[in-house]
Amino acid sequence: MGKLYTILFKIPELQRKVLMTLLFLAIYRIGFYIPLPIVDQARLRNWQELQSQTASGRIFGTVAMFGGTEIGMSTIFGLGIMPYISASIIFQLLASVVPSLEAMMKEGESGRKKINEYTRYATVVLCAIQSAFWVQNNMMNAQSGWVLPGHHGFWDGAVCVTVMTAGTIFLMWIGEQIDEYGIGNGISLLIMAGILARMPLALKDLWDKSSLKLTPEVGEYGIIKIVLLIALFIAVVVGVIAITESQRRIPTFSAKHVRGRRVYGGAKQYLPLKVNQAGVMPIIFASSLLIFPQFLLNGLANATSAWRNSETTTFGSLFANFLQECSLAFQRQSYAYTLVYIALIYFFCYFWTAITFNPKDMADNLKDYGSFIRGHRPGRRTADYLEKVMLRITYVGAAFLSLVAVIPSIVQNALSVNPMIAAFLGGTGLLIVISVCLDLVQKIDSHLIMRNYTGLMGKR
At 365-421, the pLDDT tens digits run 888 777 778 888 888 888 888 888 888 899 888 888 888 888 887 887 777 777 777
Mean pLDDT over residues 305-330, rounded?
Answer: 64
Please, which pLDDT band fits residue 313 given cuts at 50, 70 and 90?
Answer: low
Mean pLDDT over residues 314-337, rounded?
Answer: 68
Whole-number pLDDT of residue 98: 78
Long-range contact set of residues 377-385: C-beta below 8 Å, sequence gap at least 24 = 383/359, 384/359
DSSP string, 37-57: TTB-HHHHHHHHHHHTTSHHH
Whole-number pLDDT of residue 253: 80
Does residue 147 have a pLDDT over 80? Answer: no
Does residue 230 have a pLDDT over 80? Answer: yes
d(CA 437, CA 192): 9
| Mean pLDDT lowest among 48-52, 126-130, 376-380 | 48-52
Whole-number pLDDT of residue 150: 65
Mean pLDDT over residues 114-131, rounded?
Answer: 86
Does residue 214 have a pLDDT over 60? Answer: no
Does residue 363 have a pLDDT over 80? Answer: yes
Whole-number pLDDT of residue 283: 79
- What single-letter DSSP state applies at residue 96? T
End-to-end CA distance of the chain: 18
User: Within 13 A of 156's CA, how many CA atoms are on the CB side?
Assistant: 16
**Closest to 179 in 3D by CA, of 225, 232, 127, 112:** 112
Does residue 459 have a pLDDT over 80? Answer: no
Please, which pLDDT band fits residue 299 given cuts at 50, 70 and 90?
Answer: low
d(CA 448, CA 460): 8
Whole-model pTM: value is 0.75
d(CA 68, CA 79): 8
Please, which pLDDT band fits residue 135 given cuts at 50, 70 and 90?
Answer: confident
Q: What is the mean pLDDT of the chain?
A: 76
Does residue 85 have a pLDDT over 60? Answer: yes
Mean pLDDT over residues 253-257, rounded?
Answer: 71
Q: Greater confidence, 426 or 190?
A: 190
% of the chain residues with pLDDT over 70: 70
Mean pLDDT over residues 41-70, rounded?
Answer: 56
DSSP string, 143-203: TT--BPTT--SHHHHHHHHHHHHHHHHHHHHHHHHHHHHSSS-HHHHHHHHHHHTTHHHHH
Whole-number pLDDT of residue 31: 81
Mean pLDDT over residues 164-176, rounded?
Answer: 89
Bridge partners (DSSP) of residue 251 are: 270
| Mean pLDDT lowest among 13-27, 70-84, 332-346 | 70-84
Q: For the chain, list the domains and their CATH numbers.
A: 13-197 (1.10.3370.10)
| Mean pLDDT lowest among 173-182, 217-226, 275-284 | 217-226
Does residue 144 have a pLDDT over 70? Answer: no
d(CA 421, CA 169): 31
Does residue 202 have a pLDDT over 60? Answer: yes
d(CA 422, CA 442): 28
% of the chain residues with pLDDT over 90: 0
Does residue 94 have a pLDDT over 60? Answer: yes
Distance of CA 161 to the CA centre of its chain: 25
Query: Could you tell me the sign of the dihedral formed by the alpha carbons of 60, 404, 83, 33, in that order?
Result: positive
